[in-house]
Amino acid sequence: MPEGDTLRRAAEVLTPVLEGQVVTDLWFKKLRGYRPRVGDTIHSVEAVGKYLLIEFDRKLVLHTHLGMSGSWRTSGLDRPVLRDPKLRIVIETPLGRALCFAAPDISTHIAGSGTAPADRLGPDLSNDDVDLDVVIANSRARATETTTLAELLLDQLVAAGVGNVFKSEALFVAGLHPFVLVSAMTDDQLRKLWSIAHRQLVANRATPYRSTTGRGNEGRTHVYGRHRFACRRCDNSIDFSAAGERTARSTYWCPSCQPAQG
């Protein structure tokens, strides 16, 4: 499931093939906006939150959001392009190809116009330095009387990068129940929660697998994907709320380590 850490790794993989190179071939499926051209120079490849941004000539920026199952890959020019039904983008340069699969949101925008989805995002938690004062202010401004912590963490206009995995994992480490109201939290509690999410995203930027339980625990999580398994901390059974029950996305938590208030 692509989150901020996944996009950072994708940008690192694509940069050697694309950045500073002239486009020799292009193919898009379901692109909204102006098309880049063969002969354009690619000026930058950047990850911002859950978006991957590729800037071409004329300040034209390609935005891709990978949704639940999208991905970016590279391949050599000596390999044929497989016409996979999930293939959405092919960008070819003298150094290789960049291939995007299954991305549900592909569009182009003019850099600095303010019309791109990424222009409206909150601070990117995958960055080394994040202004948590801005994140807390955004939390207060965006949350309504019924907004829960689980919903807040996924609001990319508050802070960018957290997806469903890090949502559940940050809440567990913070010891907070996912369905506590934001209005019941102090600023210090929110700062702690967002700080944990920031540390988890940064720690996973350069790893080939995602782990929130420490180095050497490949693919391990505290609660995410572990419904009915024993909590790694207290041995109680992990609880689960399916997508659409209490929030739009599924949520995992330990009822002992993350007790509900009241």
Task: Tell me what the pLDDT averaged over the chain comes to.
Answer: 91
Angle between helices 132-142 and 187-203 (to 10 degrees): 120
Share of the chain above pLDDT 70, in %: 97
Distances (CA, A) of 132 to 23, 117, 162, 205: 39, 21, 14, 19
Domains of the chain: 4-120 (3.20.190.10), 132-253 (1.10.8.50)
Q: State mean pLDDT over 6-35.
A: 93
Q: Where is pLDDT greater, at 83 or 176?
A: 176
Show Cβ contacts of residue 69 under 8 Å, excluding neighbours closer than 6 positions: 1, 102
Q: What per-residue confidence (pLDDT) applies to 215?
A: 67
Q: State mean pLDDT over 72-77.
A: 95
Q: What is the pLDDT of residues 54-66, one digit of tens each?
A: 999 999 999 999 8
Q: What is the pLDDT of residues 185-220, one digit of tens each?
A: 999 999 999 999 999 999 888 777 788 887 666 558
Contact 30, 88 (CB under 8 A): yes
Asked if residue 23 has pLDDT above 90, the reply is yes
Start-to-end CA distance of the chain, whole Å, equals 33
Active site residues: 2-3, 50, 249
Whole-prediction pTM value? 0.80
Amino acid at 247: T
Q: What per-residue confidence (pLDDT) applies to 6?
A: 79
Q: State mean pLDDT over 82-99.
A: 94
